[in-house]
Amino acid sequence: MNESPASSSETPMVRFERVSKRYGALTVLDQLDLDVASGEKVAIIGPSGSGKTTVLRVLMALERIDDGVIHIDGEPLTHMPQGDGLVPADARHLRKMRSHIGMVFQHFNLFPHMSAVQNCMEAPMSVLGLGKEEAHTRAAELLTMVGLADKLDHHPAQLSGGQQQRVAIARALAMRPRVMLFDEVTSALDPELCGEVLNVIRELGSAHQLTMLMVTHQMGFAREFADRVCFFDAGRIAEQGSPEELFGNPQHERTQQFLRAVMEAI
């Protein structure tokens, strides 16, 4: 059961088990099952409002789920063991599990009162307990990796959107997560700035054993970069498969409709 294309016999890095999320009467995630293998790159596509962002937000534990369980590397994230069963996770358990996950937001959400390097030092210092020097070294390395070696002391307002988003990626990586979540990280950027951000993600994908989930509207990038593409519709995965399968030969009518609409928009 639950066999996804890239998963082997080993424990999946991320497992959604019949996860539901509701806002009042609106069901945003509808008994979602999703396994992501360690190191796998999964692209999430689908129409607006289909629950793509919500998948990332519940995985980041920014939202609570109403039903089901999410596991990270075999350990429940949304719940914790008690006696024979599971009970909803408390704040402490959530914080422990969250440390495995990093997230990059559509609107960067950099801390505007801190320089690029300070943005990347804050959490390593106050969460991981790193010393100032060590945190600075780590932050500088990461900012260099994303091509911002000369912008360490710039504040977000002094950076372009593409540069800000690269700082946000470095900031998340500074916590050494095992899973990285990207929510439409290029949607708020001018088209000519998307490339520099996508390049950083590309490099990350090839150089690290990171597990990645990315919500994206960049079908070209999803096709080239992802191991698997999931098409979301109404809080469920309507269709999933390798990029070749999903883009080349979509089975469901909803998928075909969506891809047609996206292609026409280009």
Ligand X SMILES: Nc1ncnc2c1ncn2[C@@H]1O[C@H](COP(=O)(O)OP(=O)(O)O)[C@@H](O)[C@H]1O
Task: Give the interface with ligand X as residue ranges (CB under 6 A).
Answer: 23, 26, 28, 46, 48-54
CB of 168: closest distance to another protein in angstroms?
Answer: 8
Closest distance of CB 150 from Mg ion, Å: 33
Residue 127 interacts with which of ligand X, Mg ion, another protein, none, CB < 5 to 8 Å by class: another protein
Place of tokens 């990285």: 180
Q: Which is nearer to ligand X, 7 or 218 (CB)?
A: 218
DSSP state of 151: G
Q: What angle do the packed helices 191-207 and 161-173 form, to 10 degrees?
A: 20
| Measured distance CA(263)–CA(266) in Å, rounded | 5
Single out the residue of 6, 7, 43 nearest to residue 230, CA to CA.
Answer: 43
Of 60 and 69, the one with the shorter C-beta distance to another protein is: 60
Would you give the binding string for another protein spanning residues 75-104, x where CB under 8 A is met? Answer: --------------------x--xx-xxx-
- The token pair at 94 is 């959530």
* Separation between Cα atoms, residue 56 and residue 32, nearest integer Å: 13
Name the token pair of 29.
Answer: 């995630």
How many Å is the maximal CA-CA distance in the chain?
55
Site for another protein in 160-189 (CB under 8 A): 164, 168, 171-172, 175
32 in Cβ contact with 50 (< 8 Å):
no
Q: What tokens does 238 get?
A: 């309507």
- Residues in 38-77 at the binding interface with Mg ion, rule: CB under 5 A: 53
Residues binding Mg ion: number (CB under 5 A):
1
- Min separation Cβ 141 and another protein, Å: 18
The interface with another protein within residues 118-147 (CB under 8 A) comprises: 122-123, 126-127
User: Does 256 contact another protein by CB under 8 A?
Assistant: no
Residue 136's binding partner among another protein, Mg ion, ligand X, none (Cβ under 5 to 8 angstroms by kind) is none
Amino acid identity, position 217: H
Contacted entry of another protein, ligand X, Mg ion, none for residue 49, CB cut-off 5 to 8 Å set by kind: ligand X
Would you say 55 or 180 has its CB closer to ligand X? 55
8 Å CB contact between 116 and 154: yes
User: Per CB under 8 A, does 108 bind another protein?
Assistant: yes
Q: Give the torsion through C-alpha atoms of 7, 13, 18, 20, to 10 deg.
A: -140
Q: Which is nearer to another protein, 110 or 230 (CB)?
A: 110
Planar angle of CA 110, 114, 120, nearest 5 degrees: 65
Instruction: In angstroms, give the least distance from the CB of 86 to Mg ion.
Output: 29
Nearest to 71 by CA among 157, 13, 132: 13
**Out of ligand X, another protein, Mg ion, none, which partner does residue 23 contact, by CB within 5 to 8 A per kind?**
ligand X
Instruction: List interacting residues with Mg ion (CB under 5 A).
Output: 53
